[in-house]
Structure 1
């Protein structure tokens, strides 16, 4: 079987479809929790393919708390997202000069519309998570076996279904003797804690990273994100607003925990505003919210962290990266690029790896992270 996999994901911000073509070189694939030897994963090609602007606006709008879809709308959107993913796969193969027969499988995350691992009312009844992008259609269009729907098996086993990448972070970035953390700065922030003494890997969502800032920037400037943090840098942090936002009870919940745009959305921000705030000041405050809640979580759960390795789109926001460094004195804050991992494609690499785990019959989750009852083989396989 070729050991070349294509990972596809559109994250919480829905800023594009990330495609990563990954070669795995380790001769002895291991259980997700094993860190006895480093995983050899090489990114051969990575690129982000943009959404159709109208479809992206719909996806962002559907992430809000009060969004609703008819069954017909839901079915059509599932197909449209799958078509976009299949097109991204085809473009990635063409742009990288790769024949589809060389690829063992596509690992498709899809687009999350709702993530309710504790149920709609937070009481643990009827938990669910919804990712759209019909994998049958992706397999049909691409001619490549597709592995998808990774989160629901973990939720079925009592877990949060997220985050799913700490096992890969551990395999790629664990360093004996140094407490490290890996931070994914997507729409939602999530941390992987890698203790240097070989203790259990932990991971959890921290709350907003780029998602609120992106949505606020789009509302007030028409731009999909705050390029280089310019809007935030032009404003001042509103301490009273920051305190109201930080008072959200979710931030004090212990892990395992996960969240999404359906909880942290612009309606949530609007409810904390008192009127008269400038767009730049709110953006500066949202950036401070991301940095301080991430730092709070890291200090609370792994206070001796010596190095924070960041990946995801937020790495390109120097204002956010400086805010994180300021909030974590004594901790090195750096991009995953310093470790040979392209920060824009670590997450897509993760879904290539998860597809491989599934085909090898190996677990992809870490119960110490998600809270599931045990390790589980994740996802379903859709033949070409």
Structure 2
């Protein structure tokens, strides 16, 4: 998985067995060189020679994916012939489901050539073709791994963009077969699983940290911790139609980017950089807390994954925002509390989606994405 933060590739080697939880054999992270990161950022917006630039970036990405895969094989002591498939998300450069497309650049054929393993890629397009958002795709996986029989839980991914999965009480076995089929296609014990994007998370926090402390992210949330939330700026930031839009919904850098931030900051030039960073953390926290209040009544716990799980100030801000909403006293913790390290969750999910594709089992939840029905997601590139 390489996400909206564009810092590198997270990978896991995982074993799926019927009736058992997924078993992670190894994990790895491979960072992006500055040149590749800059090329990916440039592809977020229209520009000259886009087709060639995208093709070159896709091949460079595949090379980084291959490095990650080889590191996983080495760490897990697994031969390529024993691996059924690689599930690779690709790098999102445009996400416009309202126009009928989403674009994750990748060169899966090259990755198959470099690893000698089947590759499953392009997971989002089929859901979009069926009228869906193509996102989020992880709620079905969250249900299998994080659902509880007796309580409503929320899984909150704080990546570049924030999203939540609302898991009602399961009241049914979560591991049905090797394909991980839940008891009901769209439900969990009769209630609908919900999931959608909430708004910006690290995408704006990282942008501001890069500008003002010369770092790709606000390590430990120190910049935000040294500032104070500005209520007036927070209200301006929250004045965005996406935040009031009803699910299903998804977003990305197409909306929440440096230009959006600069336009919102007009008139707040006198604010200290630390105060802006604190307010951006509050924006993420408040936008997530509001969606939990609206769509997860009776929520008993919030479990956080993604890069934001490593930012203690962001977690504190989320806890405060929940306490100030109608969801008081709900603990906020990382998915480590459920046995899955936060940095494993996204890559584990796409391994699971690849397994579903190989099994010819649906990977989407229409109640989440808005698609016309269940669809097998992904395209297979043989070894």
- Common topology (TM > 0.5): yes
- For residue 109 of structure 1, give the secondary structure of its aligned residue in structure 2: coil
Partner of 1:383: 382
Instruction: State how far apart, in whole Å, the 1-side matches of 2:141 and 2:36 are.
Output: 31
1:334 partnered with 2:328? no
Whether 1:77 aligns to 2:77 is no
- In the alignment, which residue of structure 2 is the partner of 1:168? 141
Q: Distance in 2 between matches of 1:294 and 1:272?
A: 19
Alignment of 1:3-42 (within 5 A): 9-26=1-18, 40-42=21-23
1:124 alignment counterpart? none
Asked if the contact 2:220–2:310 (Cα under 8 Å) also holds between the matched residues in 1, the reply is yes
The structural deviation recorded for 1:67 is 5.7
Task: Give 1:96 shift.
Answer: 2.8
Residue 319 in 1 paired to residue 318 in 2?
no
Q: How does 1:200-349 map to 2 (within 5 A)?
A: 200-273=192-265, 274=267, 275-328=269-322, 329-349=328-348
Check the 8 A contact 1:85/1:133 in 2, yes or no. no
Could you tell me how far apart the structure 2 residues matched to 1:211 and 1:178 are? 32
After TM superposition, give the deviation of residue 76 of structure 1 in Å. 1.4
Contact 2:30 2:67 in 1 (8 A): no
1:107 matched to 2:107: no
Contact 2:28 2:68 in 1 (8 A): no
**1:156 to 2:129 alignment:** yes
Match of 1:52 in 2: 33
- Cα distance in 1 for residues equivalent to 2:41 and 2:10: 17
CA distance in 2, matches of 1:353, 1:70: 32
321-330 vs 306-315, greater mean Cα deviation: 321-330
- Give 1:46 shift: 1.3
Distance in 2 between the 1:114 and 1:277 partners?
Answer: 32
1:297, 1:82 → 2: CA distance? 36
- Asked whether the 8 Å contact 1:185–1:209 carries over to 2, the reply is yes
What is the CA distance between 1:218 and its match in structure 2? Answer: 1.1
1:166 CA drift (Å): 0.2
Q: Give secondary structure in 2 for the equivalent of 1:344.
A: helix
Structure 2 counterpart of 1:98 = 78
Deviation at 1:303, TM superposition (A): 2.4
- Whether contact under 8 Å (2:225, 2:278) holds in the other structure is yes
- Could you list the per-position Cα deviations for residues 273-295 of structure 1 after superposition, in whole angstroms to 9, with x for gaps in the alignment? 11222211111111000000000
Q: Is the contact made by 1:159 and 1:371 (CA closer than 8 Å) also made in structure 2?
A: yes
Tell me whether 1:184 sits opposite 2:169 in the alignment.
no
> 1-side partners of 2:47 and 2:229: how far apart?
30
Structure 2 distance, partners of 1:351, 1:68, is 32
Cα distance in 1 for partners of 2:341, 2:142 equals 13
Q: How far did residue 77 of structure 1 move?
A: 1.5
Conserved? CA contact 1:62–1:68, under 8 Å:
no
**1:235, 1:284 within 8 Å by CA — same for their partners in 2?**
yes
Match of 1:364 in 2: 363
Cα separation, 1, equivalents of 2:69 and 2:88: 10
- Find the aligned partners of 1:68 and 1:105 in 2 and give their Cα distance: 36
Counterpart CA distance in 1 for 2:195 and 2:160 is 16
- The CA RMSD over aligned residues, in Å, is 1.3
Moved over 6 A (4+): none
Shift of 1:320: 0.6
- Secondary structure of 1:115's counterpart equals strand
Output the CA distance in 1 between the equivalents of 2:58 and 2:2: 13
- Partner Cα distance (1:288, 1:212) in 2: 12
Alignment match, 1:32: none
- Report how far residue 69 of structure 1 moved: 4.9
Q: Deviations over 1:175-212 (max 9, x none)?
A: 12201111111100110001126311110000111111
Number of residue equivalences:
357
Residues 116 and 129 in structure 1, CA contact (< 8 A), matched pair in contact too: yes
> How far does the alpha carbon of each residue in 1:324-354 deviate from its partner, in whole angstroms, 9 at most, with x for none?
1112222121110011101101100001001
